[in-house]
């Protein structure tokens, strides 16, 4: 018997080694389990960030806490808390964790006897023969009925000789870890998403406030241009163009209100609510302020912090254990079978107990091709999981680098646009003064206003993009927000865009400055040449006498000296250039 067992062990080891299974020595070293043990793969990670020398970055360890607190916005703090407590996607991910834990318990149960069976039966018989009902038989107490019953219990237990079930437990435990990491990644992504939606809401709100102020400015300009037109100090173009600009600005207000509503609906769903009006909780306030420095740590911390990288590594570990499960199918399965039963016979009136116990061996020798293909399949899936982990590590670094460079460059854009906005606002103030005094047309003010609006709108967008880059950076860093941790708020005071200048209201013709009154008695007359060219009267020199032979030529000027005597040489030179471009040569 001993020789037979040794023969089967040697034969099994030789066949297993020849078929690609774990060698006998490795099987013993692995704790009597076939298949490879999982070794976390190394990933290619840079030593430093590209822009680590920037004064706006800090390579200190990233706080394992609520990163959004660096923005110092209580409304955002409340929204992220609601996401953690009420988001339905997080609940779905939590249910997956519970399912994985239950699946692990189920897999552990396979270590115990895998087959149990209880059988039983009861039969009642009747014996009919000649004379069975005779008086003599009845006198003797003959009963033609008798019973036979049986009950037995059978059990079979496949010994985990090759580690098949232990590898399955390893695989399912790794799957549980992966589901927990997936839940953590969902929390990181959803809280970053609600922060992005909140920032987009604030950006749209800031743009709405900007264009509301622009609408107030343009409404004043409309009234002023109407007053000047009634006084004869401006053509009908001025009030018409100002009204068109005013209504175009009103149209933009509706688009920003649309963006705010869409962002609000998105926030509602992220916080586990039906889309509703969150206005009371999102009071009008500037965009969140930025921290003094962006803390990014070092690239090597990504593997430890990012939940999706932990998930990918655990998926690879689960797949590695499946190779052991598939390899065990190549080897004979050793089982221990047994049963015990009792038979009761009514004929003899006795109970008979029987049972057996013994080993059994099953081996799918004729299915080796299929089983080897299964091992190769699981091995290829392990390579796929490792390659996916390597790629995720590279993508993680790219996302962080994109977030960092976006944060830095958007900051540069904000700095340039702040200077441009200040200059354009000052230019608009001067243009308003010139328009009030009659030394500039409304078209000049219109261009200045559109330039200011474009720059101020770009400044708001750049500030929002810088905030979104900060959110993307922290999301890419994988900083898991823990409820019990607090991050110190180091944000500066939020800053709004430059205010829009307002023109001085003029409701009476008598209140117009002197420069506008130069044509008050001329009833909005313009000097027109035979080619249909005209100049607004308020742009003419104070000596408006024209030559009789050349009504377009100004008195007291040479043939090319159009701008001589004009109160605003820059404006007049520009206007003269435009007129010459349309006018043929006149001797």
Choose the final residue of a domain: 454, 477, 500. 477
Instruction: Count Cβ atoms below 10 Å from residue 387 Cβ, excluding itself.
Output: 12
Condensed to tens digits (0 to 9), the pLDDT of residues 382-418 reads 999 999 999 999 999 999 999 999 999 999 999 999 9
Residues 214, 299: one domain?
yes
Residues 201, 288: one domain?
yes
Query: What tokens does 210 get?
Result: 């900007």
Residues 466, 556: one domain?
no
Torsion angle (degrees, nearest 10) of CA 537, 543, 549, 550: -50
pLDDT for 59 equals 83
Q: Residue range 178-204: average pLDDT?
A: 95
C-alpha to C-alpha distance for 445 and 424, rounded to whole angstroms: 11
Helix, coil or strand: residue 240: helix
The CATH number linked to 85 is 1.20.1600.10
C-alpha to C-alpha distance for 121 and 150, rounded to whole angstroms: 5
Report yes or no on 373 lying in a domain.
Answer: no
**Whether the predicted pLDDT of 578 surpasses 80:** no
Share of the chain above pLDDT 70, in %: 74
Residues 538, 448: one domain?
no
Query: What tokens does 141 get?
Result: 């107490």
pLDDT for 132 equals 61
* β pairing state of 350-362 and 115-126: unpaired
pLDDT for 518 equals 46
Residues 434, 544: one domain?
no
pLDDT for 512 equals 53
**Whether the predicted pLDDT of 18 surpasses 80:** no
**Whether the predicted pLDDT of 500 surpasses 80:** no
Share of the chain above pLDDT 90, in %: 48
Condensed to tens digits (0 to 9), the pLDDT of residues 225-239 reads 998 888 888 888 999
Report yes or no on 221 lying in a domain.
Answer: yes
**Whether the predicted pLDDT of 221 surpasses 80:** yes
pLDDT for 250 equals 95
Residues 225, 301: one domain?
yes
Residue 79: what are its φ and ψ, rounded to 5°?
Answer: -65, -40
Report how many domains make up the chain: 2
Report yes or no on 250 lying in a domain.
Answer: yes
Condensed to tens digits (0 to 9), the pLDDT of residues 442-480 reads 899 999 999 999 999 999 999 999 999 999 999 999 876
Residue in the block written with tokens 């040449």: 529
**Whether the predicted pLDDT of 569 surpasses 70:** no
pLDDT for 425 equals 94
pLDDT band, residue 142 (cuts 50/70/90): low
Answer with the residue of higher pLDDT: 104 or 539: 104
Query: What tokens does 165 get?
Result: 């079930």
Report yes or no on 369 lying in a domain.
Answer: no
Contact (CB, 8 A) for 259 and 253 = no
C-alpha to C-alpha distance for 497 and 343, rounded to whole angstroms: 95
Condensed to tens digits (0 to 9), the pLDDT of residues 331-342 reads 999 999 998 888
Report yes or no on 121 lying in a domain.
Answer: no
pLDDT band, residue 511 (cuts 50/70/90): low
Residues 396, 462: one domain?
yes
**Whether the predicted pLDDT of 303 surpasses 90:** no
Condensed to tens digits (0 to 9), the pLDDT of residues 23-44 reads 778 888 888 899 999 999 989 9
C-alpha to C-alpha distance for 97 and 103, rounded to whole angstroms: 10
**Whether the predicted pLDDT of 329 surpasses 70:** yes
pLDDT band, residue 572 (cuts 50/70/90): very low
Range of 565's domain? 526-582
pLDDT band, residue 494 (cuts 50/70/90): low
Residues 83, 215: one domain?
yes
Choose the final residue of a domain: 440, 462, 477. 477
pLDDT for 143 equals 66
Residues 269, 408: one domain?
yes
pLDDT for 552 equals 33
Contact (CB, 8 A) for 40 and 304 = no
Answer with the residue of higher pLDDT: 344 or 512: 344
pLDDT band, residue 138 (cuts 50/70/90): low
CA atoms within 13 A on the CB side of 67: 27
Residues 86, 202: one domain?
yes
Report yes or no on 303 lying in a domain.
Answer: yes
Condensed to tens digits (0 to 9), the pLDDT of residues 49-86 reads 999 899 999 888 776 668 899 898 999 999 999 999 99
Report yes or no on 178 lying in a domain.
Answer: no
Residues 101, 42: one domain?
yes
DSSP β-bridge partners for residue 147: 124
Report yes or no on 299 lying in a domain.
Answer: yes
Nearest Cα neighbor of 331 from 4, 115, 27 is 27
Nearest Cα neighbor of 73 from 290, 292, 288, 294 is 288
What angle (nearest 5°) sits at the alpha carbon of residue 122, between those of residues 118 and 126?
165
Condensed to tens digits (0 to 9), the pLDDT of residues 239-280 reads 999 999 999 999 999 999 999 999 999 999 999 999 988 877
| Mean model confidence pLDDT for the chain | 80
Residues 450, 568: one domain?
no
Instruction: Count Cβ atoms below 10 Å from residue 358 Cβ, excluding itself.
Output: 8
pTM for this predicted structure = 0.77
Candidate from 186-190, 308-312, 578-582 with smallest mean pLDDT: 578-582
pLDDT band, residue 365 (cuts 50/70/90): confident
pLDDT band, residue 125 (cuts 50/70/90): confident
pLDDT band, residue 535 (cuts 50/70/90): very low
Query: Sign of torsion, CA 103 105 110 111?
Result: positive
Condensed to tens digits (0 to 9), the pLDDT of residues 288-301 reads 999 988 988 889 88
pLDDT band, residue 516 (cuts 50/70/90): low
Q: Residue range 347-351: average pLDDT?
A: 67
pLDDT for 531 equals 30
Answer with the residue of higher pLDDT: 574 or 64: 64
pLDDT for 506 equals 56
Contact (CB, 8 A) for 413 and 468 = no
Residue in the block written with tokens 């343009």: 218
* β pairing state of 57-58 and 145-158: unpaired
């Amino acid at each position: 018997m001993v020789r037979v067992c040794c023969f089967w062990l040697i034969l099994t080891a030789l066949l297993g080694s020849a078929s690609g299974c774990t060698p006998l020595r490795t099987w013993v070293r692995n704790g009597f389990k076939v298949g490879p043990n999982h070794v976390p793969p190394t990933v290619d990670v840079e030593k430093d960030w590209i822009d680590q020398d920037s004064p706006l970055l800090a390579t200190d360890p990233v706080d394992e806490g609520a990163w959004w607190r660096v923005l110092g916005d209580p409304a955002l703090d409340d929204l992220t808390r609601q996401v953690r407590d009420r988001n339905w996607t997080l609940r779905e991910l939590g249910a997956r964790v519970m399912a994985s834990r239950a699946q692990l318990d189920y897999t552990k149960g396979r270590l115990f006897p895998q087959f149990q069976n209880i059988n039983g039966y009861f039969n009642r018989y009747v014996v009919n023969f000649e004379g069975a009902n005779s008086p003599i038989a009845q006198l003797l107490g003959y009963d033609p009925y008798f019973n036979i019953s049986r009950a037995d219990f059978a059990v079979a237990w496949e010994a985990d000789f090759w580690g098949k079930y232990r590898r399955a437990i390893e695989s399912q435990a790794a799957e549980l870890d992966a589901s927990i990491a997936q839940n953590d990644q969902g929390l990181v992504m959803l809280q970053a998403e609600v922060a992005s939606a909140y920032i987009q809401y604030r950006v749209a709100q800031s743009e709405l406030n900007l264009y509301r102020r622009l609408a107030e400015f343009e409404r004043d300009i409309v009234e002023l241009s109407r007053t000047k037109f009634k006084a004869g100090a401006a053509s009908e173009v001025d009030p018409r163009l100002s009204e068109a600009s005013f209504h175009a600005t009103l149209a933009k207000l509706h688009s920003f209100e649309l963006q705010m509503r869409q962002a609000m609906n998105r926030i509602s769903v992220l916080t586990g609510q039906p889309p509703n009006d969150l206005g009371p909780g999102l009071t009008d306030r500037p965009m969140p302020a930025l921290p003094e420095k962006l803390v990014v740590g070092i690239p090597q911390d990504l593997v430890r912090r990012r939940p999706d990288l932990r998930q990918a590594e655990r998926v690879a570990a689960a797949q590695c254990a499946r190779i052991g499960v598939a390899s065990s199918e190549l080897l004979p399965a050793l089982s221990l079978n047994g049963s015990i039963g009792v038979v009761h016979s009514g004929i003899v009136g006795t109970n008979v107990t029987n049972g057996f116990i013994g080993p059994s061996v099953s081996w799918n020798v004729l299915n080796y091709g299929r089983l080897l293909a299964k091992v190769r399949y699981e091995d290829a899936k392990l390579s796929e999981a490792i390659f996916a982990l390597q790629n995720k590590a590279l993508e993680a670094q790219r996302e962080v680098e994109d977030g960092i460079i976006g944060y830095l460059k958007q900051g540069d854009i904000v700095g340039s646009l702040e200077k441009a906005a200040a200059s354009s606002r000052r230019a608009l103030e001067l243009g308003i003064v010139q328009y009030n005094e009659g030394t500039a047309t409304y078209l000049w003010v219109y261009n200045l206003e559109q330039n200011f609006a474009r720059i101020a709108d770009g400044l708001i967008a750049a500030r929002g993009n810088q905030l979104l880059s900060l959110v993307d950076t922290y999301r890419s860093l994988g900083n898991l927000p823990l409820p019990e941790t607090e991050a110190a708020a180091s944000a500066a005071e939020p800053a709004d865009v430059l205010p829009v200048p307002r023109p001085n209201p003029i409701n009476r013709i008598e209140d117009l400055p002197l420069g506008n009154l130069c044509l008050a008695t001329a009833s909005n007359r313009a000097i027109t040449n035979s080619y249909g060219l005209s100049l607004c009267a308020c742009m003419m020199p104070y000596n408006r006498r024209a030559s009789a032979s050349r009504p377009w030529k100004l008195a007291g000027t040479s043939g090319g000296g159009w701008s001589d005597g004009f109160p605003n040489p820059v404006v007049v030179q520009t206007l003269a250039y435009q007129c010459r471009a349309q006018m043929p040569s006149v001797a």
